[in-house]
């Protein structure tokens, strides 16, 4: 369905000088800086797959998506989406894809929401029958009827995102690109988004590429993930594997009142990979493998020896995993 071969995108930027003097200098002689946003990546995605595409901010996720959607021209390499070259056959490709950019909207800002769907119906030439059916479906999953008559600019973020995903699905695209669709949403709205994506995928075999910073999105929707860092794909494989390898790490942060010496190494006799402790004045941060020790053991141990004023327990975020992988320079 989607194939990328040796895809690269280089942006040319002009370095701007700082201050008035720098500005004047820039005005006459700007320094050209090349930035490789995407660096020689290749992948294949089959019909009906939901792939999580993750990486830190600026890693190259959005650039990749934009090349797949026909917005950006690759500097080199090739992309094929359902047999089309997205840039050359932009219009043909556009009928096949739906796109949601979490930070932008494709809705008509000043018009009642329903007008947007009317316009999209004409643009994509959706039949009356299909239109009715799909709108009913969206209402069922995303509950959009409750605000469909309001102007888009008056919608809350959660409503707008629900409306946006419905808009991207109205023409029943074969491929759906979701670029941080759940960013800034509350739990309920997130769940609705995920349900819609899941149902659409089951019903129509829609291929989905999803970029997100939310590990829960990925866990609930994707079987496969690709991790990109500094423009290169550093992991492409099943989520089960990466979870098995990294998802078991937990982090506990303690704030303690007086300084005490705690020797975790001595007590638990675990390797550096399973237990990592960092200290910073009155803060102790412990990263550990939850399969080897439990949270209660760790907290019990610390609380017995020190006066703890605050505890913060967190899961290893996807970013930590990415950083972890990147620091090693390779996967596993």
Partner 1 sequence: MHSFFKKYLPFSKAQMQEFVNYRAHAIVWVLMEFMFLVLQYFIWKAIYDNSPNEIINGYSFLGMITYVLLVRVVSSLTFVMPSEYISDDIRSGAIAMNLIKPINYRTQLFFKSLGDIVNSIVFFVIPLVVTLIIVAFFVDLEVTLTLPVILAFICSIIFAFTIRFFIGYIFGLIIFLTINSFGIFQLRRAIEGIFSGVIIPLHFFPEWLYQIALFLPFMQGLYVPVRIFMGNYETNTDILNALLFQLMWIGILYVIAIFFWKKAVHRLVVLGG
Number of Cβ within a 10 Å radius of residue 137: 16
Any alpha helices (H) in 55-89, and if so which ranges? 61-68
Dihedrals φ, ψ of 289, to 5°? -85, 115
Smallest separation, CB 242 to partner 1 (Å)? 25
Q: Which of 38, 54, 94, 228 binds partner 1 (CB under 8 A)?
A: 94
Among 5, 36, 92, 241, binds partner 1 (CB under 8 A): 92
Write the binding mask 52 to 91 for partner 1: x where contact by CB under 8 A, - elsewhere: -----xx---x---x--xxxxx----------------xx
Tally of CA atoms within 13 A in the half-sphere of 323 that contains its CB: 7
Q: Which of 48, 151, 158, 247 binds partner 1 (CB under 8 A)?
A: 151
Q: Which residues contact 56 (CB under 8 A, 6 or more apart)?
A: 229, 319, 322, 323
Residues 239-298 binding partner 1 (CB under 8 A) are: none
Residues in CB range of 134: below 8 A, 6 or more apart: 126, 169, 170, 172
Kindly list the strands in the beta sheet with 308-315, ordered across the sheet, starting from the edge strand earlier in the chain.
275-280, 283-289, 249-256, 308-315
The smaller minimum CB distance to partner 1, of residues 183 and 295, is found at 183
> What's the CA gap between 192 and 198, in Å, rounded?
10
Among 10, 26, 85, 106, binds partner 1 (CB under 8 A): 106
Pick the closer one to partner 1 by CB: 66 or 224.
Answer: 66
Residue holding tokens 């020790």?
293
Question: How many residues bind partner 1, per CB under 8 A?
Answer: 33
Question: Any contact of residue 95 with partner 1 (CB under 8 A)?
Answer: yes
Q: Which stretch binds partner 1 (CB under 8 A): 94-102, 142-150, 263-271, 282-290?
A: 94-102
- Where does this chain bind partner 1 (CB under 8 A)? 11, 57-58, 62, 66, 69-73, 90-92, 94-95, 97, 99, 101, 103-106, 108, 110-111, 115, 118-119, 122-125, 151
């Amino acid at each position: 369905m989607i194939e990328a071969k040796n895809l690269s995108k280089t942006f040319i930027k002009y370095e701007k000088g700082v201050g008035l003097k720098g500005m004047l200098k820039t005005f006459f002689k700007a320094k050209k800086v090349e930035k490789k946003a995407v660096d020689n990546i290749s992948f294949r995605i089959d019909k009906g797959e939901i792939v999580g595409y993750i990486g830190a901010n600026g890693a190259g996720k959005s650039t990749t998506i934009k090349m797949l959607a026909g917005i950006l021209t690759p500097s080199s390499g090739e992309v094929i989406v359902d047999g089309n070259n997205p840039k050359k056959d932009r219009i043909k490709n556009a009928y096949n894809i739906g796109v949601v950019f979490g930070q932008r909207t494709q809705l008509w800002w000043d018009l009642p929401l329903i007008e947007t769907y009317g316009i999209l119906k004409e643009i994509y030439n959706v039949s009356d029958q299909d239109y009715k059916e799909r709108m009913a479906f969206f209402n069922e999953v995303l509950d959009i009827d409750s605000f469909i008559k309001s102007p888009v600019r008056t919608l809350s973020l959660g409503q707008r995102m629900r409306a946006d995903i419905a808009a991207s699905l109205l023409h029943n695209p074969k491929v759906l690109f979701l670029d941080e669709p759940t960013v800034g949403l509350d739990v309920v709205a997130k769940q609705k988004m995920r349900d819609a994506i899941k149902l659409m995928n089951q019903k129509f075999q829609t291929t989905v590429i999803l970029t997100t910073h939310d590990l829960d999105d990925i866990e609930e929707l994707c079987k496969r993930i690709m991790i990109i860092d500094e423009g290169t794909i550093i992991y492409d494989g099943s989520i089960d594997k990466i979870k098995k390898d990294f998802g078991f790490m937990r982090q506990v942060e303690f704030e303690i009142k007086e300084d005490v010496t705690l020797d975790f190494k001595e007590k638990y006799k675990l390797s550096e990979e399973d237990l990592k402790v960092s200290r910073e004045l009155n803060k102790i941060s412990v990263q550990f493998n939850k399969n080897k020790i439990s949270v209660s053991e760790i907290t019990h141990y610390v609380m017995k020896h020190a006066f703890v004023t605050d505890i913060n327990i967190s899961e290893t975020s996807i970013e930590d995993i990415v950083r972890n992988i990147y620091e090693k320079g390779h996967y596993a």
